[in-house]
Amino acid sequence: MKELLAEDAEKILDADFANLIKKVKAGKPLTVAERARVESRAAGSTDSTAYAKNVVDLAALLGVTRRTIHSWRKLPGAPRPQANGSWSMADWREFIRAHGLKARGAVGASGNEEALKARKLLAEVEDRELRVAIRRSEYVRIAEVRADWTMRIGRAIAVLRSKFENELPPVLSGLDAAGIQKRCRLAIDEVLKALHEDPSAAAAGASSAATAAHPSAASALAAA
């Protein structure tokens, strides 16, 4: 009877997983619980709990001792706790699978094929989530970040050279130590401002300042 119940439970889980596959193929988002099921299966586990409350709970869910958890945490790449002190079970299951560690609920060789299917499904879910996040501008392209910081650093270097090579030497020569420190501090603040200021906004501000300083020239350009 127990064997029959186990077989029935396995069939139900398989049917449930098949429904999750259909949901992903239809482009529908997974709930936290559904994603936890996929992540669990991808890591070769039969447990679908999403988060452990603490180390005690983590050890109980993985079927190991707290001493074992502390030993595993010393291994390279071991999962870290969330900000609220909880632990991602998906991260731990994947860590255990990748390092060949032993924990309760792990699937044997017969379950490798199902784990591969789950990992493929999880990759599809993550790929779709990434594309959605990009459309929502939640991510910035590396090339854009590199271009922005290249401009910022270039402006900061220009300010640094202008201040310490041209402006400050004649001014500092007649000041005492306190005065020199004050003028250098102001110069450093301008360099830091150049790093933090939006390059496009700074360029627009400089253009506006130039227009205000030379209104006749601006009028002449507009007329031309």
DSSP code string of 174-187: T--HHHHHHHHHHH
Question: Within this chain, do residues 191 and 115 fall inside the same structural domain, yes or no?
Answer: no
Is 224 contained in some domain? no
Is 165 contained in some domain? yes
Domain stop point among 102, 135, 168: 135
Domain region containing 92? 2-135
What's the pLDDT tens digit per position in 114-169? 667 777 777 787 788 788 788 888 888 889 889 988 999 999 999 999 999 999 99
Is 46 contained in some domain? yes
Question: Within this chain, do residues 149 and 85 fall inside the same structural domain, yes or no?
Answer: no
Confidence of residue 79 (pLDDT cuts 50, 70, 90): very high
Question: Within this chain, do residues 162 and 186 fall inside the same structural domain, yes or no?
Answer: yes
Question: Within this chain, do residues 118 and 153 fall inside the same structural domain, yes or no?
Answer: no
Confidence of residue 189 (pLDDT cuts 50, 70, 90): very high
Is 114 contained in some domain? yes
Mean pLDDT (whole number) for 57-79: 90
What pLDDT score does 220 carry? 47
Residue 178 confidence (pLDDT) above 60 = yes
Residue 10 confidence (pLDDT) above 60 = no
Question: Within this chain, do residues 158 and 129 fall inside the same structural domain, yes or no?
Answer: no
CA distance 191 to 153: 9
Taking alpha carbons only, the member of 37, 44, 54 closest to residue 97 is: 44
What pLDDT score does 109 carry? 42
Confidence of residue 186 (pLDDT cuts 50, 70, 90): very high
Question: Within this chain, do residues 31 and 118 fall inside the same structural domain, yes or no?
Answer: yes
Is 104 contained in some domain? yes
- Total domains present in the chain: 2
Q: Dmax of the chain from CA atoms? A: 98
Residue 210 confidence (pLDDT) above 70 = no
Question: Within this chain, do residues 6 and 116 fall inside the same structural domain, yes or no?
Answer: yes
CA distance 110 to 10: 13
What pLDDT score does 6 carry? 47
Is 208 contained in some domain? no
Mean pLDDT (whole number) for 74-92: 89
Question: Within this chain, do residues 81 and 7 fall inside the same structural domain, yes or no?
Answer: yes
Is 28 contained in some domain? yes
Question: Within this chain, do residues 131 and 149 fall inside the same structural domain, yes or no?
Answer: no
Question: Within this chain, do residues 40 and 117 fall inside the same structural domain, yes or no?
Answer: yes
Question: In which element (H, E) is residue 105 found?
Answer: none
Is 216 contained in some domain? no
Kindly report the backbone phi and psi dihedral angles of residue 143, in degrees, each rounded to the nearest multiple of 5, phi listed first.
-60, -35
Residue 46 confidence (pLDDT) above 90 = no
